[in-house]
Amino acid sequence: MSIGDLKPVSGREAPPPKPRRFYKTVSVAEEGGALCVMLDGKPVRTPLRNLLGTPKRALAEALAAEWDAQNPIIDRETMPLTRLVATAIDRIGPEREAIIASLMTYIDADLLCYRATYPTMLKVRQAEAWQPVLDWLYADAGVQLSSVEGVMPAQQPENTVLAMKKALESLNDEDLMAFQACAAVTKSLALSMALVRGYLSAEEVAACAHLDETFQAEQWGEDREALIRQRAIESEIRAIKQYISLLEDNPQS
């Protein structure tokens, strides 16, 4: 079984029916030098046909639990750890330099660097929640991101760019995978580094990422679609944090 068979379609096509569970047992076994997920004794493979495995027992067992929970259909959206591990295996190693280069294109657009001009209450909340993260990033990695008021683009200085690139290059493949996944949903390199390095919890990262939306909801009432989107992002961030924790063989809640 390859999880590539579970890829969504794009455009306006109706998605194909999700595959039904076809296996009886899920287990973990050593295969190809890693602990792999086995369905009825056969290894699961990634979209690029690599073995879905890890050297970490806790993570391998969590992957197996995701597959065992698929009943009666197999829904990739309910398997965030499987998606993260498969992407790390297929892409991070072979495309590491390209991924870092892609992440660096967002250094001038970090969410935490763009502050409101008004109202005062929002400005204060942003400063209280976001500035400590930027201060930590400078102290921890030497990355001094500058913030501005308003939405006009601001270019970070060259020494900041070089420091961020060095910080990304220092991450191992698994942490780089977690960083990339977090950046995709938070729109912030600073928050992603804070999650990967353990400065912020998943809940704190989500709160920072949704600070503006939360403030607007307090003023004007909740928007149902925005709330659904926020909850999906929060779930993704929690999964990324779980992935990081499991890599340490030290699961956290």
Domain boundary among 77, 92, 107: 92
Q: Are residues 25 and 108 in the same domain?
A: no
**Positions of E strands within 89-220:** 114-115, 148-149
Closest CA to 133 of 119, 147, 123, 121: 147
- pTM higher than 0.85 for the full model? yes
pLDDT at 161: 98
pLDDT at 94: 84
Task: Check residue 6 and report its DSSP letter.
Answer: G
The span from the CA of 209 to the CA of 226, in Å, is 13
Answer yes or no: is pLDDT of 95 > 80.
Answer: yes
Q: Are residues 153 and 220 in the same domain?
A: yes
Q: Are residues 183 and 227 in the same domain?
A: yes
Q: Are residues 201 and 84 in the same domain?
A: no
Instruction: Report yes or no on 252 lying in a domain.
Output: no
What CATH number is associated with residue 69? Answer: 3.30.2180.10
Answer yes or no: is pLDDT of 252 > 50.
Answer: no
What CATH number is associated with residue 227? Answer: 1.10.3580.10
The span from the CA of 244 to the CA of 159, in Å, is 29
Task: Check residue 249 and report its DSSP letter.
Answer: T
Instruction: Report yes or no on 159 lying in a domain.
Output: yes
Q: What is the mean pLDDT of the chain?
A: 91
**Mind listing the pLDDT tens digit for each residue in 191-207?**
999 999 999 999 999 99
Answer yes or no: is pLDDT of 3 > 70.
Answer: no
**Mind listing the pLDDT tens digit for each residue in 14-23?**
667 889 999 9
User: What are the structure tokens assigned to 171, written together?
Assistant: 């991450």
CB distance 148 to 126 below 8 Å: no
pLDDT at 249: 61
Q: Are residues 219 and 101 in the same domain?
A: yes
Instruction: Report yes or no on 111 lying in a domain.
Output: yes
The residue with greater pLDDT, 4 or 48, is 48
Give the DSSP per-residue string, 56-113.
-HHHHHHHHHHHHT--SB--GGG-HHHHHHHHIIIIITTTHHHHHHHHHTTGGG-GGG
**Mind listing the pLDDT tens digit for each residue in 150-191?**
888 889 999 999 999 999 999 999 999 999 999 999 999 999
Q: Are residues 43 and 113 in the same domain?
A: no
| Confidence class for position 10, pLDDT limits 50, 70, 90 | very low
**Mind listing the pLDDT tens digit for each residue in 27-71?**
999 998 999 999 999 999 999 999 999 999 999 999 999 999 999
Q: Are residues 103 and 164 in the same domain?
A: yes
Residues 6+ apart with CB under 8 A from 58: 246, 249, 250, 251
pLDDT at 152: 85
Range of the domain at 158: 96-247
The span from the CA of 172 to the CA of 179, in Å, is 10
Domain boundary among 58, 92, 126: 92
- Summarize the confidence of residues 141-153 as an average pLDDT: 92
**Mind listing the pLDDT tens digit for each residue in 218-234?**
998 888 888 899 999 99
Instruction: Report yes or no on 198 lying in a domain.
Output: yes
Q: Are residues 116 and 227 in the same domain?
A: yes
Q: Are residues 166 and 187 in the same domain?
A: yes
State the Rg of the chain over Cα: 20
The span from the CA of 46 to the CA of 89, in Å, is 8
- Summarize the confidence of residues 98-127 as an average pLDDT: 96
Q: Are residues 219 and 149 in the same domain?
A: yes
Q: Are residues 192 and 219 in the same domain?
A: yes
Answer yes or no: is pLDDT of 111 > 90.
Answer: yes
Domain count along the chain: 2
Domain boundary among 59, 92, 125: 92
Q: Are residues 15 and 125 in the same domain?
A: no
- CA atoms within 13 Å, Cβ hemisphere of 191: 30
| Confidence class for position 2, pLDDT limits 50, 70, 90 | very low
